[in-house]
Amino acid sequence: MATTPHPPDADRLLLATARRTAGRTTAICLLSTAAAGCAVALPAVLGHTLDRILDRAGGLYAWTVLCAVLIGAEVLFDALVAYATGTAGARGTAWLRRRGTAHLLAAGPRHGLTSGDVVTRLSGNAAEAGTAPATAATSLAALLTPLGGLTALAFLDLWLAAVFLAGAPALFLLLRAFARSSSDSVAAYQRVQGEIAGRLVEALGGARTVAAAGTAGRERDRILALLPELSAQGRRMWQVYGRAVVQGGILVPLLQTAVLAAGGIRLAAGGLSVGELLAATRYAALAAGVGSVVGQLNALVRARAAAGRTAGLLALPAALHGTRPLPPGGPGQLELRGVSVTRGGAEVLRDVDLVVPGGTTTAVVGRSGAGKSVLAAVAGRLADPGRGQVLLDGVPLTEAEPAQLRREIGYAFERPALFGDTVGEALAFGPYAPGAPAVEAAARAAGADPFIRLLPAGYATRLADAPLSGGELQRLGLARAFAHAGRLLILDDATSSLDSVTEAQVGRALAHEVSPGTRLLIAHRVSSAARADHVAWLENGRIRAVGRHEDLWELPDYRAVFAPEDDDLPPGASTAAHPDREARR
């Protein structure tokens, strides 16, 4: 599984996001600065207005209006900052999600991340990272306001500024400790969130199996087993934040009280007016605005940690493609040369050499775990071998032009995923959109046309309104593959949910009604192997033998690959002639 990249990767991603939202981020900076300027100017104007009231001096109306203007402007600027922050965050989040999705799809099924972790990174993590530029921009105001307050306090009275600065090192140390402690806890919290989401998605995907096995409690415990760690990291995160707020809540009033006491002494000595003391008190509060700084810093820390997890998607290596075209009108000969694949530290395919002649059908058989599905993935470049080469009509798949490769290699899976709003759109989904006649012909070949026409709107029925059994779903997957059949068609256990009669019908249609080409079948049934031109017998990741099914059937070990009850069948016999046994399988 991919790990979270180092902080520099997260920082580079945040800078790239900031460039995508540069206009709005600049507006946020300007508006935040203007709001900070109003906040800093207001205490001085209020103090001066108060002094004019106490002295019964003229021009009171103008100063009162100026106070109202500054208050109104600050409110207006804050509202505009909130609007710009929301739109900038939305744009940044959308850009991160588009990039993350593009990298994920470019990496293909090789990425090694769980579905739940991917969803967490593309949803919550991308949203937090997308708001980072706006948060950084508003943080400018969070810093300008205390700095402006301190500067104004120094202009007002240097003694009061000196009193405040005596406590400034403690504020600095508080913020520094908070940033360091919060970063680690936030990153750990987000990591555990992703792991829980991954387990939850796995359980939801197998909900029927869990219900049938009566293991709902066990699955619940497995999913929630990480809650104590999540709780511990959450408590640590909020303890760090709470400690900073409490410490700031103690330090800030002490500083304000010290400034107020020193200001009272200066007032008694005639060094300050009442209005100036009011202004000094307000400036001390602005200068000690550690609460807002801590909040902004907390948001930035969370955004940086989230950016690190989002950057993990962008760090996924994309599959490398070439530009070589496949020979026009090629027969579709597939060749594996010395192919080895390692998964989880173990070799699941070892030095596999296999040639599937163009225009023929080869069934790959073997016990569970022999590496059949891995071979199917490698054959159509859904995965790349660690060693060796896979060629189609003499062209290595890694060098072939990707768009042509996807047009010429079709797949049907055991559990197909359907895309589109309607059944017809789902069957047409692919590298190109075949017309309605081609889609319906493919559905007839897959045995799907009869039940599709019984749906409320036939091929126009929405997928959400089409209840499908496992066999019907597989037939739709086959129909989609047939509609886009190129020179190579790979069926990865794509008929496992079909009954024997339907499976035989699909086999005949595949030979006579689907566009001619090369077929590679992952077979579990004797009948499927018997109909193939050749059988590749895979055992422990190696090709044990390649030959005709009738010839291999003479070997007891080959017969044992299938159900034990096939041992008493006559040599070369197929269970298609023994439906009772096929049904038991």
Q: Which one-letter DSSP state was computed for residue 352? A: E
- Select from 7, 13, 1 the least CA-distant residue to 311: 13
Tens place of pLDDT per residue across the chain (585 aa): 444 444 567 888 888 888 888 888 899 989 988 988 998 899 999 988 888 888 877 778 888 999 999 999 999 998 998 899 889 988 988 888 888 888 877 777 666 677 777 888 888 888 888 888 888 888 777 778 888 888 888 888 888 888 877 776 776 666 666 666 666 677 777 778 778 877 777 777 777 677 777 777 888 888 888 888 888 878 777 777 676 666 666 666 777 788 888 888 888 888 888 888 888 888 887 777 655 666 677 777 778 888 888 888 777 777 788 899 999 988 999 999 999 998 878 889 999 999 999 999 999 999 988 999 999 999 999 888 989 999 999 999 999 998 899 899 999 988 888 888 999 999 999 888 898 999 999 999 999 999 999 998 999 999 888 888 888 899 999 999 999 888 999 998 888 888 888 888 888 888 778 888 899 999 888 888 998 999 999 999 999 999 999 999 999 999 999 855 444 444 444 443 333 333 333
Helix axes 216-224, 168-205, angle to 10 degrees: 160
CB–CB of 402/392 below 8 Å?
A: no
First CA to last CA distance, the chain = 36
Instruction: Kindly state the tokens that stand for 386.
Output: 């660690």
Alpha helices per DSSP H over 409-469: 423-428, 436-445, 449-453
Give 67's strand partners. none
Sign, CA dihedral 232-235-241-243, equals: negative
Q: What is the pTM of this model?
A: 0.64
Three-state SS across 269-325? CCCCCHHHHHHHHHHHHHHCCHHHHHHHHHHHHHHHHHHHHHHHHHCCCCCCCCCEC
User: CB 464: neighbour CB atoms within 10 A?
Assistant: 8
- Select from 137, 135, 138 the least CA-distant residue to 127: 135
Exposed / middle / buried, residue 302 (Cβ in 10 Å: 0-12, 13-18, 19+): buried
Give 518's strand partners. 488
Taking the C-alpha atoms of residue 413 and residue 533, their distance in angstroms, rounded to an integer, is 21
Query: What residue segments make up the domains of the chain, in order of their start?
Result: 7-314, 334-415+471-584
Contacts of 529 (CB under 8 A, 6+ apart): 363, 365, 523, 535, 549
For residue 190, CA distances in Å to 197, 199, 227, 295, 559 come to 11, 15, 12, 18, 51
Helix axes 22-55, 274-287, angle to 10 degrees: 160
391-430: buried (b, 16+ CB within 10 Å) or exposed (e) per residue? bbbebebbebbeebbbbbbbbbbbebebeeebbbbbbbee
> Given this model, what pLDDT does residue 352 score?
94
Give 410's strand partners. 489
Taking the C-alpha atoms of residue 239 and residue 567, their distance in angstroms, rounded to an integer, is 68
- Architecture of the CATH domain 334-415+471-584: 3-Layer(aba) Sandwich (3.40)
Taking the C-alpha atoms of residue 334 and residue 345, their distance in angstroms, rounded to an integer, is 27
Instruction: Kindly state the tokens that stand for 90.
Output: 């939305």
- Architecture of the CATH domain 7-314: Up-down Bundle (1.20)
